[in-house]
Structure 1
Amino acid sequence: MPVQHPTSPAGTHTGRRLRASLAAVAAGSALVTLAACSAPGSGSGSGASAETTPTAVNTAVDGTPATLTLFSAAGLQTYEQGLADAFTAKYPKIKVKLRVEADNNYNTVLPRLLASDSTPDLVQPYDLLGGVKDNLLTNLDAYDKAYGWSEKVPASALAPGRVTMRTIGAGSLYEAGGSAGPLVGVFYNKDLAAKVGMTSVPSTVAGLEAVMAKAKGQGITPIVASNQDGLIGHLYNLLLGDYMGAKKLSDIVHHQPAATLDTPAAVQATQTLQKWIKAGYFASDVNAINQEASYGQFTGGKGLFFFQGSWITQTLDKNFKGKYGVFPMPPVNEGGSYAGMTSNTLAFSIAARSQHKDAAALFLNFLTTPEAAKVAVDNGYAALSGDAKSAGKPSLSGSLTDQIQAGYAAIAADDGFDSWLQNSAPAVGTRLTQQLQLLVSGKVEPAAMVKTLQTTYADAIKNS
C-alpha cells in the first residue's frame, strides 16, 4: 500500500494516508430509491448493518434522531470535533461523538474496531484496499448517485477513494466527502520577489525559471531546499505532475495496471530539475541541509523560493509572518493545467457494520458544504465550497490564507490533485532520496534516474 509522505500533515500529525476530494455545494435532501424503497440494512439500524453494498438509500434522514461515532486520531481531534459540531448545528437531530485514539495507535486499532460489534460509523482507514477486501467498509456508489458527488467533485479528488479488487484509483467509491488539505506550491520571500521585479505569479515553468535567473544574477539564491532528507522531492513531484499530468502520476501511486514512470515526460521533468541544479539555483551544500535548517534559511532571507506545503505556516518563525506568500506550481505551457500534491482531511469511509449508514452518508455530504469548508480553513487547511471549475487565477495579492485558497482552487479547477511518488511504495521513497542526492552531486543522469525509480517501483509492486 502507498505510504504517507513524511512531511505532509498526515505524516506529521496522524501517520494516516488522507486522500484528496473536493468540497462543493451541498445537495438538497430527498428520498432516493435505487432498487427498492428503504430496504433493511440501508442505515436505519434495522439489523442487516453489515451490508457492504447498500442498494436503496434514504437521503431524508435529517429529522431522524441518531448518534454517529467518528473514530479520530488525537492529532485531528480539535479539527474533527469542529466538523462534528458544525454538522450537528445544521442537523440537530443527529449527534456526532468522537472516539479518540492516540496517533501512533490509530492504524493498529482501526481494523479490529471495524470487525467488532462496537464499530464506529465514520473512519479514515490507512489501508483502504485491505478494508474493502475484508468487507469492513461500505460501498458508497448508491450514496454517490443519490447525492451527486461524482458530478460535484473532480475525478482526481474522488479517485483515491475508489477501489477495484486489486488497486486504488478506479472502481467503486469507498471513501468520500469534501476536500481540505495542504497546498504544495511555491512559497516566496516578498522582499526578495520585489527586488527581482516579480510582480505577478509566473504563468509557466519557463516564466518561473526566468525569475530564478534574475535572482541568481543579483546574487540571491533562487531556491531554498533540504536534500539531506530528499525534500527536493517536493519540487520534483511538482515537476512530475506538470510534465506527466496529474492522472498519470496518480496512476503510479495507486498502482494502476500499466502505470509507469519510465516516460519521456518524466525524463523531461528530471532534466528540468537537473538544469536548475547545474545553473546554481540551489545552495551548493543543499545535500547537507535538513528540513529544520531549510526553514531557518527561508525565514532568514537566504533564498527567494521554497517549494513546500502549507503545513509549514505552523512551523515558520512567527517573526516572518506577513513577509512571505505562496502560489501553485505553474504549468509547463501557457494556459496549461495546474497540478499539485495534497492529502485530504475531509474524506471518510462508512463502516460496513455501521447501524446508521444513511445518517453517516449525510455527514459525508455535509463535508461538501461551505460550513465544513469553513471549519477546515479555520483549522489551517485549504478547502473549497463552490464550483471548482470557476476558480480565479492565483495572485500575489491578498492574505496568505487567500493565496493558499486560490492555489488550491486553481488545482481543483484543472482536476489536478495528485500525490507524492514516494507514496507508491516505501522502497521508492528510499530510492528517490538517494537518486535526488546523486542528481545534485552530478552522479546520475535524468534518464538513468527515471529508469532506476521505475525498476524500484516495479519490483515493489511485484513483491507486494
Structure 2
Amino acid sequence: MSRRVRNRWNGAVLTVVVGGTLAAGCGGPGSDAPQPEATTGTALSTTPTCGTTPVTLKAYIETGFPITKALTTEFTKQHPNVTWNVREDQFAVITQNAPRVLADDPPDLMRLPQVSELVKDNLLKNMDGYAKAFGWDSWPASQLQQMRLGPGGRTRGEGSLYAMGLNFSMTGVFYNKKLAGKIGMSAPPATLAELDDALAKAKSAGITPIAQFNGGATGGLAFPLQDLMASYGPAAPINDWIFQKPGATIDTPSNAQAAEHLGKWVKAGYFWKDVNAVDYATMMSRFIGGDGLFMFNGDWESGNLDKQMKGGAGFFLMPPAQAGGKRAAMSAPLTYGISARAKNADCAAFFLNWVATDSKARDIAVAIGGSHPMGPADAHMPSVTPGTVTASTLDAGADIAKDNGAMDFIANATGAIYAKSWTPQLQKLVAGQQTPEGLLKSVQSDYKSQVGGS
C-alpha cells in the first residue's frame, strides 16, 4: 500500500467533525437523487462542484494520516459550506470492514484497500465521467493506471477508473544517520551486498539492524520482502501478478531468491526478537527513539521524520543485487474512492480534483504528506529544503520514474491476500514455522483460490 501513519495501525474507531458544526442535512449536489452518469462512467453534462448550500461530506479514513486532516481543514476554509463527518480506523480494520461499510453505511469518500472485489460487488462508483469532466485523463497515465479495472473488477491496470489518490507515495529504506556513522556508513549502500555488510556491522556493534513491524493483521515484513524482489528481478512480472493477469505467479526464481534472502536476515537476528508483536506505531516510536539503523517504509513518513529527527534521518531506494542495475520500488497512490451509493458523490469528486490541482493542497501533499502530489505534469510543485528526508524521497521518486520501476504493493493483489496470506505466512517465517520456498507457494495457492484459479 501509505504522510499517513503516525499511528497508522493502532487506535480505536473515532468519529470527528472537521470544519465546523455538522449541517442539519446532507444537501448539495448529488444529495439524494441517483446519479446515473457518474455511476455508469458516461460523460457528465456539467462539471461537478460542491455548490454553495450546506454540504456534509461523510468520510471513512485511515487513522493517523495528518495529511487527510490538513486537506479537509483547508478545503473547508476555501469552501465554507462544506463540513466533514469523519470516521477513522486502522487500515487493517478498514480492509476487513470495507465491503460491509460500503454496502450498509456508505460514506461519500473512503480510504480504499484492494479494490477489485469492491468493484465486482458494485460498491464503488465508476469515475470515468469525473475523469473526463475534470480532465484527469490528460494527466500522466501512470498516475491512474493502478486504479483502473476491467469489467467485473478483473484485470487491474486497464479499463474504467474507480479511485483517486490523495498523493503518490513510494517506499524505500530510511536510516538513522547517527547510527550509520557508528558503523562507518558514510553513504547509502549502492548494492545489496553493501546493504548486507551494513546490517552485519550493525549487529556486531549491538545496534538493531532493521526496525520493522510484523504484528497484527497487516504485517510489515512484506515491505523488505518486496524490496528484495525488486533487487533480484524486474517489476513487470510482479505488477502482472498484482493486476491478476492470466497465468501470473509470485513464485518465480527471482522472487524465491528474495524470500530466501529475507529468511537469512531473520535467521541472522537482524529484526527485533519481538517483531511479530510490534505494530506500526511501536515501530515508528522505536525508530525515532534511536532503536534501529534501517527501516523499510514509505515516504508518507518523510515530513514526520524531518520534524521528529531533524537532520538525523536519511532515505535511499533499495539497492540492486548487481552494481548499476535498475531500481524499482513500491509506488502507488494513497487511494480513495466514492461509494456507489454516496449522497454527495459530486462534491467528493470535486474535493479529489481540488487535492490534485489547488496550489495550497499540493503544498500540503509535500510538506505534510512527504509525497509527490497527483495531478497534471505542469502543475504547481512546492519548493523543498535541500538535505531533508522529503527532498530525498522526492528525488528518489524521479529516479524510479526514470527506471520505469514503479510497482504496486504485493498486498494489493486481492482483498484478502494481505491479512489472510502474506501476513500469517511471514509471521510463520519469523517463528521458524515456514520456509522461504513454502511461503511463496502458500501465497500463490491462496491467490489462485481468491481470483478463481487464474
Report the TM-score, using the length of structure 2 for normalisation.
0.70
Match in the other structure for 1:98:
84
AA of the residue aligned to 1:453: V
1:193 is aligned, of 173, 180, 186, to 180
Distance 1:11 1:195, change over 3 A: closer
Partner AA of 1:189 in structure 2: N
Q: Judge conservation of contact 2:149–2:155 (CA < 8 Å) in 1.
A: yes
2:248 paired with 1:262: no
Paired residue secondary structure (1:258): coil
Instruction: Describe the SS at the equivalent of 2:36.
Output: coil
Q: Distance in 1 between matches of 2:6 and 2:244?
A: 21
1:449 corresponds in structure 2 to: 439
Q: Residue 149 of structure 1 corresponds to which residue in structure 2?
A: 136
How big is the shift at 1:168?
5.9
CA gap of 1:87–1:401, structure 2 versus 1, over 3 A, is same
Give the match for residue 330 of structure 1.
Answer: 319
**How far, CA to CA, are the matches of 2:421 and 2:141 in structure 1?**
32
Q: 1:377 to 1:365 in 2, by over 3 A?
A: same
Runs of at least 5 residues in structure 1 that lack an aligned partner in the other structure: 16-42, 115-119
Cα distance between partner residues in 1 of 2:342 and 2:214: 45
How many residues end up aligned between the 2 structures?
A: 419
SS at match of 2:334: coil
Name the counterpart of 1:53.
Answer: 40
Describe the shift of the 1:59–1:162 C-alpha distance in structure 2 as closer, same or farther (beyond 3 A): farther
Q: How far apart are the structure 2 equivalents of 1:46 and 1:427?
A: 36
Deviation at 1:261, TM superposition (A): 1.0
SS of the equivalent of 1:223 reads coil
- For the aligned residue pairs, the C-alpha RMSD in angstroms reads 4.8
State the SS of the aligned residue for 1:212.
helix
Structure 2 counterpart SS, 1:424: coil
Gap change, CA 1:199 and 1:350, over 3 Å in 2: same
CA distance in 2: counterparts of 1:189 and 1:59, whole angstroms: 51
What SS does the corresponding residue of 1:367 show, helix, strand or coil? Answer: helix
Residues 460/49 of structure 1: CA separation in 2 closer, same or farther (3 Å cut): closer
2:408 aligned with 1:418, yes or no? yes
Q: Which runs of 5+ in 2 are unaligned?
A: 14-28
Change over 3 Å in CA distance of 1:459–1:8 after alignment to 2: farther
Specify whether residues 274 and 53 from structure 1 end up closer, same or farther in structure 2 by C-alpha distance, changes over 3 A only: same
Query: SS at 2:175's partner residue?
Result: strand
Contact 1:69 1:99 survives alignment (8 Å): yes
Deviations 1:178-202 (A, max 9, x none): 4155x53312121121233333333
Question: Residue 248 of structure 1: CA displacement?
Answer: 3.6
Distance 2:214 2:82 in 1: 43
Shift of 1:83: 2.8
Aligned to 1:24: none
Structure 1 CA distance for aligned equivalents of residues 424 and 145 of structure 2? 32
Aligned CA distance change for structure 1 residues 251 and 96 (closer, same or farther; 3 Å): farther
Change (3 A) 1:202 1:375: same
Distance 1:49 1:460 in 2: 32
Match of 1:382 in 2: 371
Q: 1:134 to 1:383 in 2, by over 3 A?
A: same
CA offsets, 1:369-406, max 9 Å, x none?
Answer: 2432323345445332677799xxxx997223333444
Shift of 1:47: 6.3
- Residue 32 of structure 1 aligns with which residue? none
TM, length-normalised to structure 1: 0.69
The structural deviation recorded for 1:428 is: 5.7
Residue 340 of structure 1 aligns to which amino acid in structure 2? Answer: M
Q: Cα–Cα, structure 1 residues 128 and 293, in superposed 2: closer, same or farther, change >3 Å?
A: closer
* Aligned pair partner of 1:232 in 221, 234, 240: 221
Is this contact kept in 2: 1:388–1:409, CA < 8 A? no
